[in-house]
Amino acid sequence: MKTNTLSLLFIPFLSYFSLSQTAQARNPEIDRLRDEVIALNAKLITDLTEAVTSIGNDVELVHASILAVRPETVDTAAAYSQAKSLIADLDVLRRHAIADLTLLSDYTPPDVPPPTALAGTSTDPESALASTYQDLASVQHSFVHIEAETLSVQKSLERLIADGETFSISKMFEIQFLMSELSQCTLTSTAIVSAVNAAILGMARNFKG
């Protein structure tokens, strides 16, 4: 009896599909890891929004408090302009993260509110700087936490592979891709915030000088 050639072609595909379905049923851990990464995506976007808002207001406060006690120098103006440009870059990164990172359908990214009005501020520069450094440290800590959680997911995935767990290869590659995107975005965010910190230090040096 002749074997149907089309049937022979479908056997490997059906076998792989069956294995993939069985693997997913056996190991819900892989779906849990995917959900963790997606939750971290949302946290990063939320933290980026808070960073753009708080650091943006801090830079305005530091600048206004310096101008309240002495005329603006060329160096102070340059440091202030650089800080504002970097905050704009951070906001661009935030908007790209909203568009590019995988998110749950029920997650609504928060908006960046308008900057706080600072006309007639009476805060002295030293107090403004101290508050700003606290905010920067908090933002950096949040990014470090996300990066640590991403690494934890990576280690969990490696453990599953080392233990010989059977699961969909496509799922594994999807999680690795999601983690790569998240990690790149987190590292870029950290670098921009560090640069903002350097610009604020530039304003502080000019004030103290």
Name the DSSP letter for residue 88. Answer: H
Count CB-CB contacts under 10 A for residue 126. Answer: 12
**Terminal CA-CA length for the chain:** 95
Could you tell me the CA-to-CA distances from 50 to 10, 82, 92, 145, 183 in Å, in that order? Answer: 52, 20, 14, 15, 19
pTM above 0.85, yes or no: no
Q: Does 68 fall in a domain?
A: yes
pLDDT attached to residue 8: 43
Mean pLDDT of the chain: 86
Q: Does 172 fall in a domain?
A: yes
Contact predicate 132/58, CB 8 Å:
yes
Domain containing residue 75: 28-208
Q: Does 14 fall in a domain?
A: no
Amino acid found at 60: E
Q: Does 153 fall in a domain?
A: yes
Q: Does 62 fall in a domain?
A: yes
Q: Does 18 fall in a domain?
A: no
Q: Does 199 fall in a domain?
A: yes
Express each pLDDT in 124-149 by its tens digit.
889 999 999 999 999 999 999 999 99
pLDDT tens, per residue, the chain with 209 residues? 444 544 444 444 444 444 444 444 457 888 999 999 999 999 999 999 999 999 999 999 999 999 888 889 999 999 999 999 999 999 999 999 999 999 999 999 999 988 765 655 667 889 999 999 999 999 999 999 999 999 999 999 999 888 877 777 888 899 999 999 999 999 999 999 999 999 999 998 877 65
What total number of domains does the chain contain? 1
Contact predicate 196/87, CB 8 Å:
yes
Q: Does 16 fall in a domain?
A: no
